[in-house]
Structure 1
Amino acid sequence: MTPPLRIGIWALVHGNRAALQDPLEPYDASWRRNRALVLEAESLGYDCVLVAQHTMNPHKVELGQLEAWTATAALAAETRRIELIAAIKPMLYHPVVLAKMALQIEEISGGRFAINLVNAWNRKEIEDAGLVFREHDERYAYGAEWLAVVDRLMRGEAVQHQGRYFQVKDYILRPASPGRPRPRIYVGGESAPARDLVAAQADVWFINGQPLEDVRALIADVRARPRRGEPVRFGLSAFVIARETEAEAQAEYRRLLDLARQDTEIKAYVKANTDPAVAMRKTQAKFESVGTNGGTSGGTVGSYDQVAARIAQFHAAGIDTLLTQFQPFEPEMRRFAAQVMPRLAALRVG
């Protein structure tokens, strides 16, 4: 049985999610905006927030970029209920350092913290820092060993580890997680090595937005893989455009699509710095959509009733965490809370 549906948002760590040149949403990736956004999301009833990690802006280095872990620590002290999910690229942090940071935020938040492991697609971000950008499958081997060390450290275990990438001797971290074994672990990525990693070590698998039948197939594939412990749970990214009528929603979709087409230089820059082996890029290339991480590809454009019905279908397929994107973000986030959330409740989703 699928757990109740949780609705989350993407923090605006690098500004707009659909198009950078939108007169209705001037570019702003500041701490001040993100703080206000997350506090309002919590008050509106959203359950979680994903704070993606980039050290430099992935679209244009001159643009502002929120730092994920310092911001999440601050949000942990400011919020009271919402789950805080900070993304992490293993190549940027030693597992001992990262596990200590994670446990500190876990303590600050009172047990509401989670990590989202992503094995990186932006070659420039890694190589320009003088670090080794490993090839796709090796990144997952590195990430699996990294996560194994982090997992044990977050559990408060005394860790002895002699591996291919890391050697850790008699390390123990305190304080450990209050009230649960460790912070929750989310994993992103859809390649075969990513799915192996999910089945072996993740609590929740984040899937990029895509059609319902494709999501069902991905869930079935991971459920069929060897697994110890509790079953994997599933999350989905979705850019939502909901209006009173389908025609109004489609008009807004076309507005954003036209604006997104103006970002040609930015898209070329992103493509040039992206590892072509990354499954997310291959998935996105199949569909015309707006938004990141699959955007509207899952069919979340339509009337309030249509959008609620589509989300209910994803929930029935096994998705229990929906990470929403909007543009302009704040008013559309409020619209979703006011119009779609009650319809989901009426459908007994959640």
Structure 2
Amino acid sequence: MIRIAGPRFGVWTPVYGTWGATTHPEDPFDASWERAKRLVLSAEKLGYDSTLIAQHIVNPYGHEFDILETWTAAAGLASLTSSIEIIAAIKPTLFHPVVLAKQALGIEEISGGRFSINVVNAWYKPELLQSGIPFAEHDERYIYGTEWLTIVRSLLSGEKTSFEGKYFHVDGIELNPKPKTRQRPAIYVGGESEPARDLAAGLGDVWFINGQPLENVERLIRSVAGRKREGVPVRFGLSAFVIARETEEEAQAELAKAWEYAKADQPLNEQLFGHADQKAVMFQTIAKYPAIGTNGGTAAGLVGSYDQVAERIAAFHEIGVELFMLQFQPLESELERFAREVFPRVRSLNPVAL
């Protein structure tokens, strides 16, 4: 059994405008910088440990919708916060590894050592193809991504870096200033395909798993934890959409309302799925476990009474999940509710938590 410190909690920054239904009456669409700033500052004050900023050039639910740019937002949030971890997603095909490493080191400096990157494979075709960027076949993107991350990891560690590969040729470059408070920013890896698992085990620090039932998550953790790896063991994070109430009946009623709101978004979801790489395991999981929210959402089962949600978190933590990256709707009020009602219950189940 994997033994780790108490669970950590994060919140997805609302770059899409919402992580639930676009027509929710208490959560109007708002993908502005001002909202993201307020939300992350509130999360930090409430005691959340991390925030994840997803990355898209255009909003996959519709290009007419706003979407916040990841790396400029990360730099801004790093300068305004003092304790919360800032995790910025990055698709390797969008940035040359040397340029990206330099940007990451800059935000690491701004944050005082609280910055991390989340490497994700591109699955939304239009944002690349319409930009004139080739959309390679799934496994080939991971070959590219492995070369890319090898270079980035070396540069983030302050090493003079040379690399000769299929896609990149780097000749003795070294970036300064180097990290001042630790060896390098942390590296999160997303994706559940076999190449993604290899990448996480070989070059990542934390593997993000999409929300799904406990037994699935345990199987995935064992799959990656058992792979060949140098250095400290890989850690694990889980995405989940939370609906927590005083009683299970109240939570299930809220879930039923969420499904009603979600019906209006069916055309947007069909459009999104139609433009996605069907080899992406995330969409195979979504098809098997329909859920509210993105990246597995309520399929993780964090729907129930406050006590039930805390107990399910404890069960995921017991099998190795360290970081829970959470979504809510309405975002601001549910963020506060979770901190007020679930944080203390998790703490009572695990005295070293929080």
Aligned mates of 1:156, 1:311 — CA distance in 2 = 37
State the match for 2:54 in structure 1. 52
Please tell me the residue identity of whatever aligns with 1:131: I
Given candidates 327, 335, 338, the residue that maps to 1:333 is: 335
State the Cα distance separating 1:288 from its structure 2 match. 2.4
State the match for 1:257 in structure 2. 259
Aligned mates of 1:177, 1:93 — CA distance in 2 = 21
Post-superposition CA distance 1:227-247 (Å, at most 9, x none): 110000000001000000111
Please tell me the residue identity of whatever aligns with 2:78: A
State the Cα distance separating 1:12 from its structure 2 match. 0.3
Aligned mates of 1:178, 1:130 — CA distance in 2 = 38
State the match for 2:318 in structure 1. 316
Given candidates 1, 4, 7, the residue that maps to 2:6 is: 4
State the match for 1:107 in structure 2. 109
After the TM superposition, which residues 1-350 of structure 1 pair with which residues of structure 2 at under 5 Å, given as runs? Answer: 1-348=3-350, 350=353
Post-superposition CA distance 1:67-87 (Å, at most 9, x none): 000000000000000000000
- List alignment gaps of at least 5 residues for structure 1: none
Post-superposition CA distance 1:25-46 (Å, at most 9, x none): 1100100000000000000000
Partner SS state of residue 140, structure 1: helix
State the Cα distance separating 1:162 from its structure 2 match. 1.4
Please tell me the residue identity of whatever aligns with 1:46: Y
Please tell me the residue identity of whatever aligns with 2:158: G
- List alignment gaps of at least 5 residues for structure 2: none
Moved over 6 A (4+): none
State the Cα distance separating 1:23 from its structure 2 match. 0.8
Aligned mates of 2:268, 2:302 — CA distance in 1 = 25
Aligned mates of 1:72, 1:94 — CA distance in 2 = 18
Partner SS state of residue 288, structure 2: coil
Aligned mates of 2:235, 2:5 — CA distance in 1 = 9
Tell me which moved more, 320-329 or 174-183.
174-183
Aligned mates of 1:118, 1:228 — CA distance in 2 = 22
State the Cα distance separating 1:261 from its structure 2 match. 1.6
State the Cα distance separating 1:223 from its structure 2 match. 1.0
Please tell me the residue identity of whatever aligns with 2:277: D
State the Cα distance separating 1:169 from its structure 2 match. 1.5
State the Cα distance separating 1:287 from its structure 2 match. 1.3
Please tell me the residue identity of whatever aligns with 1:264: Q
Aligned mates of 2:25, 2:6 — CA distance in 1 = 37
State the Cα distance separating 1:99 from its structure 2 match. 0.2
Please tell me the residue identity of whatever aligns with 1:35: K
Identity score, percent: 55
Partner SS state of residue 221, structure 2: helix
Tell me which moved more, 288-297 or 97-106.
288-297
State the Cα distance separating 1:317 from its structure 2 match. 0.8
Aligned mates of 1:7, 1:273 — CA distance in 2 = 31
State the Cα distance separating 1:178 from its structure 2 match. 1.3
Please tell me the residue identity of whatever aligns with 1:4: G
Aligned mates of 2:296, 2:81 — CA distance in 1 = 29
TM-score by length of 1: 0.99
